[in-house]
A and B are shown apart, each in its own frame.
Chain A
C-alpha cells in the first residue's frame, strides 16, 4: 500500500490548481449569482487537457488515468461544483459509453471532438417517471430504414443546450423491459430534437440543466452504441465509472469549505479571542478533516482500482455515497461555524452548502448507492 501521490500526479494537481486560481476563482461567485453557464471557462478546459484526462491519446485524450481525473474534479470542486458537474457529465457519462462500447469508426467520429472540448457532451437518462428506477424508461426509438425515430422526454439533463452530442438511453423494445434498452448518440442538430427551458436550481446554479424533448427525432442508425437491447448493461457500467468523479465533487466541496473556514476562524474574534481558539471550533474542524480525508481515501482507492483494471464498482459507490455525505455534512457545519456571516452570500460557504446537496441526489441518490453496495455485499442472499 502506498498512500503518496506519484510525482506526475502531484505536478498534475499543481497544474489544476493554477488553472483554478487563474480561471475559476475570480468568477465563481459571479457565476452563481448570474446562473449563467460559464462558456469561456469551458472553452479553456479543452485546450488545457482537462476534458480528456483519462482517455488514450489515440482518440485525442491525454493518456492519464482515473486517479488524475478524480484529483482534477476534487481540486476544481473546492471552488466550483457547477463546472465539475458539467465535466463529470461530459467526461464520464456522455463520453465513456462511446469509448467503451463504440466501434472504432464511432470512436474516431466522436471522441476527438469530445476529448478536446471542441464539442461538449451530455447524457440523457433521467425521465420524469424514471429516476432511481431507471428501468422505467418511456423514451422510445424505432428503426425506420437508415435512421431511428425517437419520441419522449428526458429531464434534469446536465449540459443540456450546451452540448453537441447527447448520449441518450432509449427503449427500442418496450416489451423486453431492461433488455429492450439501447443507447443512441443524438446530435444537437438532429431534426425533431429541442431543449426545454433552463431549470432554476438550489445549487450548482451555473451548470446548464434542462429537458431534452424528442418529437419524431431522426437519428442516423450509425449512432447506435453497442447492440440494441444492451443499453441497460452499458448504462450500469457507465454509472459505475461516473460515480468516481461525482464522489470527488462532494469531497472537493467539503475540502473547499474547510479551507474557507480555517481562514475565517483565525480572523473572526468573539469574547476577545479568535473563534479558532475555542475547543468547539477545533473539535469540529478536526472531525471534519478526518471525515474528508476518509472520503478522499475511499475515492482514490476506487480510482486506483479502476486504473489497475480490477472490479471497482462497489468502491465507486462507496466513494459517491461518502463523498456526497461529507459534502453536505461538512458544508452545513462550516456555515454553523461562520454563524450569521455563513448565511450571507458574501462568504463562499453559503454557496457550497447549496451546491453540496445535489451530490446526494444526482447520478444515483445516496439511497441507491447503499442499495448497490448492499447488493455487492450480498446482504440477505
Chain B
C-alpha cells in the first residue's frame, strides 16, 4: 500500500503569548512543531504500513525551514520526504494551498492520502477535503480509527458530534486524521541520526510541478480569499476581584452574586 501523509510545520500556538502592554503577539522563541493532527496522521500511516506493508511518503508545503519537520517524520520511520517550497507558493489560502499540494500528489503514486484534520495555526480543516476534490477521490474526514485495512480498501470510524459512522472506502482515498486516530510514537534515536546522515528530503519547487500545477491557482494570486485585516482581541474588562477572603466569605460572595443574577 502506498501511503502519503501531508504534514505541516506550525508554530506551537500554545506557547504564543500576548504582550500585555502592546497587545501584540510575542512570537520570539515559539518553537515550530509538526501540527498535532498531522503527527497523528503520520503515526496512522506508519501503523498502516506495519499492518499491510508498503511505503510511507511524507509531503509538506512550506518555507525551507519546514525541512526540520520532515526530518522528524523520517526519524519516526517515514520512508521518503518531499518538501514543496517556492516563493511562488507563498501567501496561499486554503484553495491555493490545496491546489499546490494536489499538484505535487499527482506526481506520486498513492493508494491512501492521510492529512491531519486541521492545523493549530489556522484551524480551518479545509485543505484535506479540498485536496480530495482536486484529485477527484473520496474523502473520509474526522477519522477516529482505522478499523480494517487491506489492499484496495479501508474501513474507517468517522466521528460526528452525536454519532459515528463505520465507513468502507475503496482506495485511492483521502483520510483526515483526528488526534485520537493514533498516538504518535517517539522518533527512534537511530532514526534521528539517519534522518540527517543517511536520508534526504527531496525539494520540489515550481519547476518540478510545472506539468501538474495551474499557475492561476497558486500563491497569493491564486487565492480567492484575502485577509482584510488582523487584530488582537480586546480583552474583556476585569470584573470584581477578591484576594483575601476566607473560604466562607468567598462562598457567601459567590452565592450573593448568583442570586443577584437569578442563577439561583
The answer to A–B direct touch (Cβ < 8 A) is: yes
CB within 8 Å of B: which residues of A? Answer: 6-8, 11-12, 14-15, 18-19, 48-50, 52-53, 57, 61-64, 68
Across-interface contacts of A50 in B (CB, < 8 A) = 189
The answer on a CB contact under 8 Å between B196 and A8 is yes
Smallest beta-carbon distance A100→chain B, Å: 20
Residues facing A in B174-189 (CB within 8 A) are 186-189
Name the one of B71, B75, B190 contacting A63, with C-beta atoms under 8 angstroms: B190
Q: Which 8 A-B pairs have the closest CB atoms?
A: A49-B189, A62-B189, A8-B196, A62-B190, A15-B187, A49-B188, A48-B186, A12-B192
Closest chain B CB from A61 CB (angstroms):
8
**B21 at interface (Cβ–Cβ under 8 A)?**
no
In the assembled complex, which residues on chain B have CB atoms less than 8 Å from the CB atom of A48?
A: 186, 188-189
- Of A8, A14, A18, A19, the contact of B193 (CB 8 Å cutoff): A8
- Cα distance A53–B191 in the bound complex, in angstroms: 11
B residues contacting A by CB (< 8 A) are 68, 71-72, 75, 186-197
Task: Name which residue of chain B comes closest to A12, CB basis.
Answer: B192
Complex: A53 Cα to B87 Cα, angstroms: 39
* Residues of chain B within 8 A of A64, CB atoms compared: 189-190, 192-193
Do A68 and B189 have beta carbons less than 8 Å apart? yes
Is B75 a contact partner of A49 (Cβ separation < 8 A)? no
B68 touches A15 (CB 8 A): no
How long is the Cα–Cα vector from A204 to B163 in the complex, in angstroms? Answer: 49
Alpha-carbon distance A6/B72, docked complex (angstroms): 14
Q: How far apart are the CA atoms of A308 and B79 in the complex, in Å?
A: 30
- Of B75, B192, B196, chain A has the most CB atoms within 10 Å of the CB of B192
Smallest Cβ distance from B243 to chain A, in angstroms?
A: 11
In contact, B71 and A53 (Cβ under 8 angstroms): no
Q: Whose C-beta in chain B lies nearest to the C-beta of A72?
A: B189
- Asked whether, in the complex, the Cβ of B188 is within 8 Å of the Cβ of A11, the reply is no
Chain A residue, CB-CB nearest to B31: A14
A305 to chain B, nearest CB (A): 19
Determine if A11 and B186 form an interchain contact, defined as CB atoms under 8 angstroms apart: no
Q: Give bound CA distance, A174 to B186, whole Å.
A: 49
> In angstroms, how far is the closest chain B Cβ from the Cβ of A20?
11
Q: Which residues of B contact A18 (CB under 8 A)?
A: 186
> How far, in angstroms, from A2 to B78 measured CA to CA in the complex?
31
Given contacts A11-B72, A11-B196, 18 further A-B contacts (CB under 8 A): A7-B196, A8-B195, A11-B68, A11-B75, A12-B189, A14-B72, A15-B75, A15-B186, A15-B187, A15-B189, A49-B188, A49-B189, A49-B190, A52-B189, A57-B190, A61-B190, A64-B189, A68-B189
CB distance from A290 to the nearest CB of B (A): 21
A53's partner among B187, B189, B195 (CB-CB below 8 A) is: B189
Q: Can you list 17 pairs linking A and B with CB atoms under 8 Å apart? A: A7-B196, A8-B197, A11-B72, A11-B75, A11-B187, A15-B186, A15-B187, A19-B186, A49-B189, A49-B191, A52-B189, A57-B190, A62-B190, A63-B194, A64-B189, A64-B192, A68-B189
CB distance from A43 to the nearest CB of B (A): 14
Complex alpha-carbon distance, A11 and B195, angstroms = 10
Which of B72, B193, B195, B197 gathers most chain A CB within 10 Å?
B193
A54 to B, closest residue via Cβ: B189
Which residue on B lies nearest to A18, using beta carbons?
B186
Residues of A within 8 A of B193 (CB): 8, 12, 62-64, 68
CB distance from A332 to the nearest CB of B (A): 30
Q: Which residues of B contact A57 (CB under 8 A)?
A: 190
CA distance A329 to B193 in the complex (A): 35
Pairwise interchain contact A7-B71, C-beta atoms closer than 8 A: yes
> Which residues of the partner chain A approach B71 to less than 8 Å between Cβ atoms?
7, 11
